[in-house]
Amino acid sequence: MKYLSFFLLIICSIFVISCDKDEVMDNESINSGLVGTWNLESSSGGFAGISCQYQIGEVVLVFDEEDNLIVSNNVVNTSATCGGQEIGISIETHKYGVLTSNDKKFLLVDDAEVGEIEIQTNMFTLDQNSYSQGSGADGFISMFVK
């Protein structure tokens, strides 16, 4: 019995030590700033270094309180270089979340990390060159407004 207790103590200690306290799903940040309708205003970057400007209503992200993300793209020519595809999220309904790691927030779409987000009152930035596990290359930086 003494050995069993010791063994269980070691197993529990391993699980407690292996938990990463810096990475948590932060539902409070979702409810405090990301929920709402966001319009893509501009995006820049990529391998070719393009810069795109959008009108209100052309590319829209709607984040709801039930962790649903609805993406719509009303750009007339969606095969163009600036057709809205550079945000990397397909036109449909997705599940979303926010991962907090090292005091930074990262957008998850269908459990895949999309990039770092910085949320302000009426604007948020999606940086596809910054991830919780390091940096990327040739991603886009997109600005969204309410």
Domains of the chain as residue ranges with CATH: 24-42+51-145 (2.40.128)
Task: Return the DSSP state at 39.
Answer: E
* pLDDT on residue 77: 61
Reference 69, options 91, 46, 101, 88; nearest CA is 91
pLDDT in tens, 34-43: 999 999 999 9
Q: Quick one: 21 exposed, middle or buried, by C-beta within 10 A (0-12, 13-18, 19+)?
A: exposed
What is the rounded average pLDDT for all residues in the chain?
79
pTM of the predicted model as reported, rounded to 2 decimal places: 0.74
